[in-house]
């Protein structure tokens, strides 16, 4: 029986504002704290770089992957020898000069400071809930990502990448699981209204149906006068049990050990994927 220590992941909760320098300072502090406490990979939420107060400000502050913000994080990862999941970066699109549109990009950086994967959010949050005071149209300035990306081998296991609203689409999580994901991650900036109603139940559902760990860094609190986030950065095990919750009040981190034997034993004891019928079976209703 192995006596080697289980790897530790740090799931972070932050309150980003339009001030990129202050945001980096706050995130850097959390990463340093996580590293001191033994984390081998640190998860930061969607909008870790900033949350703008208008479409114009959001676009003005955006950068490319070779800009200052990502350079700061690659240097930090290299210096601390820690992996980073940067959960939602405002990346200037490939035709930025002509169309002024961006991607919402989830970037994985290894402990040598190399970018090893970039996933661009594929489901955009265009939602009007007037009775709950929610009105957001992400597609007004964001390009949907062209494809999913293969799970990434990390110190805690094979990591499947999503971002925020992607959480509502089980097809995405099941595709990542079929391609080897042992851990799914949904860095987010859920609104207070949708978070209170759906956040935990969706994260637990994705864990249960894929029999993966689910790690979800989150934004919390007031970003500016127009926007606030629900918080409750969460870690869930493959049985759907909540392992850690950052709460809904303030920035912080939750540290969790990742025991991949939990993935193996859960899948072995309840072999859901073996019981799944072929794709044609689930489309059979469409032919009737």
Write out pLDDT tens, residues 210-231.
999 999 999 999 999 889 999 9
**Radius of gyration of the CA atoms of the chain, in A:** 18
From residue 44, alpha-carbon distances to 54, 73, 154, 161, 274 in Å are 22, 11, 16, 13, 34
Please answer whether residues 258 and 90 qualify as being in contact, where contact means their C-beta atoms are separated by less than 8 angstroms. Answer: no
Say which of 27, 164, 212, 246 is annotated catalytic: 164
- Band (288; pLDDT cuts 50, 70, 90): low
pLDDT at 2 over 70: no
Q: Domain-by-domain residue ranges, the chain? A: 8-287
pLDDT at 10 over 80: yes
- Catalytic annotation on 164? yes
Say which of 35, 121, 158, 262 is annotated catalytic: 121
Distance CA 232, CA 244 (A): 9
Q: Which two tokens stand for residue 32?
A: 């340093």
Indicate the pairing of strand 152-154 with strand 157-161.
Answer: antiparallel
How many H-runs (helices) and E-runs (strands) does the chain carry?
10, 16
From residue 123, alpha-carbon distances to 55, 127, 152, 201, 249 in Å are 18, 12, 20, 19, 27
Where is average pLDDT lowest: 93-97, 201-205, 232-236? Answer: 93-97
| The overall pTM is greater than 0.85 | yes
- pLDDT score, position 1: 47
pLDDT at 59 over 90: yes
Write out pLDDT tens, residues 105-154.
999 999 999 999 999 999 998 888 888 777 778 998 999 999 999 999 99
pLDDT at 283 over 90: no
- pLDDT score, position 3: 58
- Catalytic annotation on 46? yes
pLDDT at 27 over 80: yes
Average pLDDT over residues 54-67: 96
Where is average pLDDT lowest: 32-36, 175-179, 276-280? Answer: 276-280
Write out pLDDT tens, residues 150-187.
999 999 999 999 999 999 999 999 999 999 999 999 99
CA angle, 144 then 145 then 149, to 5°: 155
From residue 205, alpha-carbon distances to 170, 211, 240 in Å are 9, 10, 7
Q: Which two tokens stand for residue 117?
A: 């994967």
Kindly compute the dihedral angle of the four CA atoms of residues 101, 102, 103, 106, in this order, to the nearest 10 degrees. Answer: 180
- How does DSSP assign 159-223, residue by residue? EEE--GGGGG-HHHHHHHHHTT-SEEE--B--BHHHIIIIIHHHHHHHHHHHT-EEEE-EEEEEE
Please name the residue that has the structure tokens 């759907």: 240
Q: Where are the alpha helices (DSSP H) in the chain?
A: 20-36, 55-61, 68-80, 96-99, 170-178, 192-194, 200-210, 260-269, 272-275, 279-282
From residue 127, alpha-carbon distances to 49, 71, 191 in Å are 23, 33, 11
Say which of 12, 46, 63, 91 is annotated catalytic: 46
Q: Above pLDDT 90, what percent of the chain?
A: 89
In the CATH scheme, what is the homologous superfamily, with its name and number, of domain 8-287? Carbon-nitrogen hydrolase (3.60.110.10)
Q: Which two tokens stand for residue 83?
A: 């992996």
């Amino acid at each position: 029986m192995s006596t080697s220590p289980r790897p530790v992941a740090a799931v972070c909760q932050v309150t980003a504002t339009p001030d990129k320098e202050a945001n980096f300072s706050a995130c850097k502090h959390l990463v340093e704290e996580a590293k001191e406490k033994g984390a081998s990979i640190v998860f930061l939420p969607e909008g870790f770089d900033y949350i703008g107060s208008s479409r114009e400000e959001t676009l003005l502050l955006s950068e490319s992957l070779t800009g200052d913000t990502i350079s700061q994080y690659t240097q930090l990862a290299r210096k601390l020898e820690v992996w980073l999941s940067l959960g939602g970066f405002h990346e200037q699109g490939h035709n930025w000069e002509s169309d002024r549109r961006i991607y919402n990009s989830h970037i994985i950086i290894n402990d040598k400071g190399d970018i090893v994967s970039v996933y661009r959010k594929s489901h955009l949050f265009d939602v009007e809930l007037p009775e709950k005071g929610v009105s957001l149209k992400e597609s007004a300035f964001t390009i949907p990502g062209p494809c999913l990306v293969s799970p990434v081998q990390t110190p805690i296991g094979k990591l499947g990448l999503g971002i925020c609203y992607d959480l509502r689409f089980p097809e995405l999580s099941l595709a990542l699981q079929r391609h080897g994901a042992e851990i799914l991650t949904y860095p987010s900036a859920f609104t207070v209204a949708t978070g209170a109603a759906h956040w935990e139940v969706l994260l637990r559902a994705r864990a249960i149906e894929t029999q993966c760990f689910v790690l979800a860094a989150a934004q919390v609190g007031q970003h500016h006068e127009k926007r606030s986030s629900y918080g409750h950065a969460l870690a869930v095990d493959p049985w759907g049990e909540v392992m850690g919750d950052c709460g809904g009040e303030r920035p912080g981190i939750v540290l969790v050990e990742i025991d991949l034997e939990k993935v193996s034993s859960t899948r072995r004891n309840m072999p859901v994927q073996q019981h799944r019928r072929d794709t044609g079976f689930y489309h059979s209703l469409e032919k009737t």
